[in-house]
Structure 1
Amino acid sequence: MEPLTIPNPERFSRALGLSFKASNSNGKIWVFVEEGADFEVEDDSDQVLHGRFTSPRLRCPTMISVVYAKCTRGERSILWDKMREIPLATDSLPWIIGGDFNTILTTRDRVGSETNRHAEMIDFAEAIEDCRLIDPGFDGSDYTWAKNGLLERLDRVLVNEPWTRLFEAIRVTKLPRFASDHGPVLVRCKMKTTPEGGKAFRFQNIWTRHEEFRNLVHEDWEAPTEAEGLINLQIKLSRIKKTLKRWNKEIFGNIHANLRASEESIATAQADFEANPSPRSRTDFNREVVQYILLLKMEEDFWKQKASLKWLEE
């Protein structure tokens, strides 16, 4: 996180629902983690904060490096050297590094300027190669930064080979810009799982966010069963389980697929607004943003609940 504001980690911690763990030497990089997780700083500098991340969700520690690069090529050379040092101390642990690198990697990462940045691109590419890092790809907008008609992909995420073995899938999504000229980057990693038996019924917290949920449960529960005592209770529980499963499939479907579809819609709306900044296109874009935020909160509820169940199981 790049706050660029008066340091007040407690306020951000309350807003995010996460614990503040560290900031780098110049206060431009902050790290927050969920309850039960930890981040121990191993290297702190102006352009990168590097540390060891542990969580009950993960079977081994991981190394995380957060970048906020300087604006000039000479200053960034210090960052490239620092990146080359990190793999020597990671003990082959999974490593992810990401943030604002303040430079592009290819000519496709920039539109709106003819400035020659070939030397800077070579510096960045050589650092990535020396560190044996992999770009997992991305979806969303092609660019993460925009100003005065210039669009660039300055923010990115890179991982090493052990990281790809730890997770079954890695998805990097470039989110829309809101109050900044940078768009945030969301990284989601899917843990490898082993097949198990039939799925048990689990109440999903995300259901409570839907306006129809309370009435649905009330009407189904109050419907007569023509039975009494424990038999009555058993029938009602069995019936509400089937009702909620059917309702979940019809209304929510696959929440991750819905979120991907929303991301595509919001990217289209953003592109339409940038091409034609009319009141109508702004309204369409804002509507897509509201829908996306709601879906994002639902997915957050889903992962929080799943993580809690996994923790209890272990």
Structure 2
Amino acid sequence: MSLPILVWNVRGIGNDPTSRHVKLLCRNHNTLILAILEPMSGSDFHLYCRKLGFYFGVSNHNNKIWVFWKKCVTRQVLSDNAQSIDMQFSSPIFPTSFSTSFIYAKSTRIERRDLWNDLRTSAQSFTNMPWLVGGDFNCFLAPEERIGSNTNRNQDMIEFGQMISDVGLVDAGFEGNSMHTWFRNNLMERLDRILLNGPWDDLFAKSSSPISLEFTRPCPFLFHASLTIIKTPMAFRYMKMWARHPSFLPTLWPKV
């Protein structure tokens, strides 16, 4: 059983080509949960819910994060913040519920500190629950995740990394032609990522891959998780025909 989640900072979903492309990606990848960041649309997000092929949707209070999901999933909004929305999902197809925090971070270090503290608070509720944190963090973790600028961002990286350590998250990894998910002129950065806690790994065998599209940055992030299959020892069964085989007794009691 799989859980495809698509997260994309579309930087405006109001134009028809963008909305058609989002719908195509969701259909091609059988997306169960879709998070749209920076929709830049004052329109009713319920209209886009139907337009994109989903059954239900919710927006955070400042309309910066939209989340849609299919009919087989039920949800509960746990926390609605300016830079994140915490949700709990459940479905008959999964053995337990799981939580998500979808992120659209502010552009300054001071503003992002509110987000880091919000995530620290959320982590206290998700200690024993699978938790995925994903979206546009507007910050990178290592110097190699930025090309085209020598601006000192060490403090930004330190604070981002400290939050990740404090709440016990790990990076889900990256697959694609380039690790950089955003660019402007010659500047390229990895601002988008998926983070997971320990219980998530216990439930899912994870894989994370941004869908690399040449014409779009930020690029859409497809996270595909499948249930971890625990193999149990097979029961031993005795078959009567074994006793009729000529080598049966010699095998049990070989000559010494």
TM range (shorter): 0.7 to 0.9
2:117 equivalent among 78, 81, 87: 81
The aligned counterpart of 1:31 is: 67
| C-alpha distance in structure 2 between counterparts of 1:78 and 1:177, whole Å | 32
Structure 2 residue matching 1:31: 3-state secondary structure: strand
Letter of the 1:47 counterpart: Q
Letter of the 2:186 counterpart: G
After superposing on structure 2, the runs of 4+ consecutive aligned residues of structure 1 that deviate more than 6 Å are none
Q: Identity over the aligned pairs, expressed in percent?
A: 37
1 or 2 for the larger relative contact order (CA 8 Å, sep ≥6)? 2
Matched length: 195
| C-alpha distance in structure 2 between counterparts of 1:21 and 1:91, whole Å | 26
Flag structure 2 segments of 5+ consecutive residues without an equivalent. Answer: 1-35, 233-256
What displacement does 1:186 show?
0.5
Residue 159 (str. 1) matches residue 196 (str. 2): yes
2:153 equivalent among 114, 117, 124: 117
Letter of the 2:162 counterpart: E
What displacement does 1:177 show?
4.0
What displacement does 1:33 show?
0.6
Of Structure 1 and Structure 2, which has the larger fraction of its residues in strand?
A: 2
Of Structure 1 and Structure 2, which has the larger fraction of its residues in helix?
A: 1
| C-alpha distance in structure 2 between counterparts of 1:9 and 1:44, whole Å | 16
What displacement does 1:89 show?
1.4
Structure 2 residue matching 1:139: 3-state secondary structure: coil
| C-alpha distance in structure 2 between counterparts of 1:179 and 1:35, whole Å | 32
Residue 65 (str. 1) matches residue 140 (str. 2): no
1:106 equivalent among 117, 142, 146: 142
TM normalised by structure 1 equals: 0.59
Flag structure 1 segments of 5+ consecutive residues without an equivalent. Answer: 197-314
Letter of the 1:160 counterpart: N
What displacement does 1:189 show?
0.3
Relative distance call for 1:11 and 1:178 in structure 2 (3 A) is farther
Root mean square deviation, CA, Å:
1.7
1:242-257 → structure 2 map (5 Å cutoff): none
Letter of the 1:136 counterpart: A
Letter of the 1:108 counterpart: E
